[in-house]
Amino acid sequence: MKIIFEKSVKGRRAARFNSDVPISPKLPDNLKKEKQAELPELAEIDIIRHFTNLSRNNFGVDNNFYPLGSCTMKYNPKLGEIIARDERFSGLHPILPQLPEGNLLTQGALEVIYETGRLLSEITGMDEFTTQPLAGAHGELTGMMIVSAYHKKKRNKKTRVIIPDSAHGTNPASSAICGYEVTTIPTNKNGVMDIKKFKKELNNEIAAVMLTCPNTLGLFNSDIGKICKMAHSMDALMYYDGANLNAILGKCRPGDIGFDIVHLNLHKTFATPHGGGGPGAGPVGVKESLRKFLPISQVVKGSDGKYFLNYNQQDSIGYLAPFYGNFAVILKAYIYLLTLGKEGLIKVAENAVLNANYLLAQLKKHYHLPYDRTCMHEFVISAKRQKEKGVRTLDVAKRLLDFGFHPPTIYFPLIVEEAMMIEPTETESKETLDNFAEAMIKIAREVEENPKVVKTAPHNLLISRLDEVKAARELNLRW
Ligand SMILES: *Cc1c(COP(=O)(O)O)cnc(C)c1O
């Protein structure tokens, strides 16, 4: 496809924008460029076609199934987008004054932040939330800074954090940034953290245990309550990586299980897409004893029912992000929660788990399944069997593109060779799941009969395989 500059024809023009703002004749010379800007010259119809066709080469959840495990690429209702775009929200300036008259202008926005935090507390069993962190990893950093502040305040000498080997890579990274050494616990044959090895590593040096449950294999750890008790006996805090909360919404609450801190990705579970490159939000919830360490500032509801920002938090870990987080993302989550209500959220979890198990049942005859258990919202299969025919997971992923599907997450979690991590989400119909299963099964058959067609895929797209190393090393986004 030609880039827009190559389509330029000298002298060609699109419709002009008629502005009634007069152009100042007195532009000082030092502000004028010597040369005219080199812009493409095109008719309006060529511009429209160019960008419309470009947008059709993109892939999103609005095009087709996008089972990117761990990332929850579910359908995000457009209602949230419409309301978040409303000028009465989008036009608010973040430094509108806190004075009474300014407060009048910001009360609605403060209420949204406050109420979203309250609802997230209810869902997770926590006592208070900060909505400031801007992503999941940022939420983890916030949480681990709170861990560090807690132990410093108690004069505890803690140097290490326990994390299972199935964890998202951001977990050890966040711990390390906060100065902790990471102790990795292997996964047992049931696909969960080995509790015997955990017990052996647990001692007074442990500041926290970071867990994802269900973990990145999509499996729930039924020892989780016991693990929390064991950690607390050593005054280690329990951190719940709730980036993906789809499986447990309205079913169980990390706070009730014994977790002290949790972060959520609003841009996975709560109505903003993940992986779209757009803004996200990683709010963090804590139990009462950790409330005082939350970042500055917190939205508080006064006894008069008015909302205000409290900057007076003595033990706070400080400022985490400018202003109050990505407000539009928080707003969309709030709308999502109100629209679904309690019953709706429970249905989300039930259908997410049902869809994953339905798909798993169809695929497990055709691909290796390393942990053969009932899964939660996602599952991990492997192309180990296909590898014997010289076909790798990457090839299967590329072949899926020919069938119009986004591939699943591949080569993660790291503990499964040739991993494919599939998360169908609750918003997909049985027909879509069947179509995807059919494509996956067809690919498995192709591997047996004609592996070359899989190894050289994709065949139907504008570009075939990219040199990914070169693309990353010599990134060039300019014309
Ligand atoms: C996505 C994810 C994260 C990180 O979230 P980001 O917003 O991408 O920083 C952390 N843990 C798990 C389990 C995740 O799936």
- 128 forms bridges with which residues in the sheet? 286
Q: Are residues 136 and 282 in the same domain?
A: yes
For residue range 217-254, list pLDDT tens digits in order. Answer: 999 999 999 999 999 999 999 999 999 999 999 999 99
Sequence letter at residue 277: G
- Hunting for tokens 């407000």 — which residue is that? 327
On whether both 325 and 372 belong to a single domain, the answer is no
Res. 27 pLDDT band, cuts 50 70 90: confident
Instruction: State the burial class of residue 337 (Cβ atoms within 10 Å of its Cβ: 0-12, 13-18, 19+).
Output: buried
R_g (Cα) of the chain, nearest Å: 25
Output the CA 80–ligand 1 centroid distance in Å: 22
Q: Single out the residue in 339, 369, 389 at which a domain terminates.
A: 339
More confident site: 366 or 99: 366
Do 231 and 356 lie in one domain? The reply is no
What residue numbers bound the domain in which 149 lies?
78-339
Q: Beta strands of 1-117 (E only): which ranges? A: none
Among 10-19, 259-268, 294-303, 444-453, whose mean pLDDT is lowest? 10-19
Say how many residues make up the chain: 479
For 51, what's the count of Cα atoms within 13 Å in the CB-facing half-sphere? 6
Which CATH number fits the domain that encloses residue 413? 3.90.1150.10
> Quick check: helix, strand or coil at residue 150?
helix
Tokens of 188: 């047992």
How high is the mean pLDDT of the chain? 94
Within a domain: residue 18? yes
In total, how many domains does the chain have? 3
Q: Determine contact, residues 254/124, Cβ cutoff 8 Å.
A: yes
* Mean pLDDT for the stretch of residues 352-359: 98
Tokens in use for 156? 């505890």
Give the per-residue pLDDT at 464: 87
* Dist. CA 6–CA 46, nearest whole Å: 12
Say yes or no to pLDDT of 22 above 80.
no
Residues 273 and 297 in one domain: yes
Instruction: Tell whether 99 and 212 lie within a shared domain.
Output: yes
Name the token pair of 373.
């258990």
Is the pLDDT assigned to residue 2 strictly greater than 90?
Answer: no
Please indicate, yes or no, whether residues 267 and 406 belong to a single structural domain of this protein. no
> Which pLDDT value is given to residue 414?
94
119-128 burial, b for 16+ CB within 10 Å, e for fewer? bbbebbbbeb
- Asked if the structure places residue 67 within a domain, the reply is no
25 pLDDT higher than 80: no
Q: How far is the CA of 399 from the centre of ligand 1 (A)?
A: 26
Q: Please list every protein residue whose CB sits less than 6 Å from any atom of ligand 1.
A: 70, 135-137, 168, 170, 212, 216, 241, 243-244, 265, 280, 282
Q: Are residues 292 and 354 in the same domain?
A: no
Residue 97 has pLDDT above 90, yes or no: no
Give me the pLDDT at residue 58, please: 85
CB 146 within 8 A of CB 294: yes
Strands of 237-242's sheet in order across: 128-130, 284-286, 261-264, 237-242, 206-211, 160-164, 181-185
| Atom 5 of ligand 1, nearest CA residue | 136
List 399's β-bridge partners, or say none.
none
- Residue 114 belongs to a domain: yes
Q: What is the pLDDT of residue 389?
A: 95
Q: How far is the CA of 175 from the centre of ligand 1 (A)?
A: 14
Considering the domain boundaries, does residue 65 fall inside one?
no
Contacts of 464 (CB under 8 A, 6+ apart): 456, 458
User: Are 329 and 353 contained in the same domain?
Assistant: no
Q: Which residues are within 8 A (CB) of 299 and not within 5 positions of it... i.e. 6 or more apart?
A: 110, 113, 114, 117, 307, 308, 309, 310, 324
> Residue 151 domain-assigned?
yes
Residue 236's domain is classified under what CATH number?
A: 3.40.640.10
The count of other CB atoms within 10 Å of the CB of residue 474 is 8
- Which atom, in ligand 1's list, is nearest to the CA of 70? 15
**pLDDT higher than 70, residue 1:** no
Supply 323's token pair: 């202003």
pLDDT tier at 30, thresholds 50, 70, 90: confident
Return the amino acid letter for 328: A
Q: Does residue 410 sit in helix, strand or coil?
A: strand
pLDDT of residue 102: 66
Residues 411/68, Cβ–Cβ less than 8 Å: no
- pLDDT for 368-394, tens place per residue? 999 999 999 999 999 999 999 999 999
Strand partners, 238: 209
Take residue 255 and report the two structure tokens written for it. 């706070």
- Structural domain includes residue 236: yes
How many angstroms does the Cα of residue 327 sit away from the middle of ligand 1?
19
For the segment 418-431, the average pLDDT, to the nearest whole number, is: 98
Mutation probe of ligand 1 site: the residue of 163, 219, 244 with most atoms within 8 A of C-beta = 244
Q: How many CB atoms lie within 10 A of CB 430?
A: 10
Between these two residues, 239 and 92, which has the higher pLDDT value? 239
User: Quick one: which atom of ligand 1 is closest to the CA of 212?
Assistant: 13
**68 lies in some domain:** no
pLDDT value at 275 more than 70: no
Measure 216 CA to ligand 1 centroid, in angstroms: 10
Q: Do 57 and 458 touch, CB atoms closer than 8 A?
A: no
**Backbone dihedral angles phi then psi of residue 308, each to the nearest 5 degrees:** -150, 165
Last-in-domain residue among 306, 339, 372? 339
Contact 250, 349 (CB under 8 A): yes
User: How many angstroms does the Cα of residue 279 sit away from the middle of ligand 1?
Assistant: 13
177-216 core/surface letters (b: 16 or more CB in 10 A; e: else): ebebebbebebbeebbbbbebbeeebeebbbbbbbbbbbb
Instruction: Report the pLDDT value the prediction gives residue 462, as an integer from 0 to 100.
Output: 83
* Cross-strand partners of 237: 208
**C-alpha to C-alpha distance for 141 and 153, rounded to whole angstroms:** 18
Q: Are residues 291 and 308 in the same domain?
A: yes
For residue 263, the CA-to-ligand 1 centroid distance in Å is 10
Q: Please give the structure tokens belonging to residue 454.
A: 């899989």
Buried b (16+ CB within 10 A) or exposed e, 376-411: bbbbbbbbbbbbeeebbbbbbbbbbbbbebbbbbbe
Q: Which atom of ligand 1 is nearest to 268's Cα?
A: 1
Determine the atom of ligand 1 nearest the C-alpha atom of 140.
Answer: 10
Structural tokens at position 268: 């996975």
Mark whether 291 and 155 lie in a shared domain. Answer: yes
Q: State yes or no: pLDDT of 452 exceeds 70.
A: yes
| Atom 7 in ligand 1: residue holding the nearest Cα | 136
All residues at 6 or more sequence positions from 286 whose CB lies less than 8 Å from its CB, including other chains: 126, 127, 128, 129, 146, 260, 261, 262, 293, 294
Mean pLDDT of 361-366: 98
Of 297, 318, 339, the residue that ends a domain is 339
Res. 466: pLDDT tops 90 = no
Question: Would you state the structure tokens that stand for residue 436, as one six-digit string?
Answer: 């995807």
Task: Give the DSSP letter of residue 184.
Answer: E
Mutate to test the pocket of ligand 1, among 241, 380, 409 (most ligand atoms within 8 A of CB): 241
Atom of ligand 1 nearest to the CA of 138: 9
| Residue 211, beta-bridge partner list | 240
69 occurs within a structural domain: no
- Burial (0-12, 13-18, 19+ Cβ within 10 Å), 4: middle
pLDDT-derived band at 50 (thresholds 50, 70, 90) equals very high
Kindly report which listed range (40-49, 55-64, 337-346) carries the lowest average pLDDT score: 55-64
In ligand 1, the atom with minimum distance to the C-alpha of 280 is 7
Residues 377 and 274 in one domain: no
Q: Whose CA is nearest to atom 15 of ligand 1?
A: 70
Query: Using one digit for the tens of pLDDT, what is the confidence trace for 114-171?
Result: 999 999 999 999 999 999 999 999 999 999 999 999 999 999 999 999 999 999 999 9
End-to-end CA distance of the chain: 14
Pairing type for strands 160-164 and 181-185 reads parallel
3-state secondary structure (DSSP) of residue 10: coil
Say whether both 103 and 183 belong to one domain: yes
| Per-residue pLDDT band at 100 (split at 50, 70, 90) | low
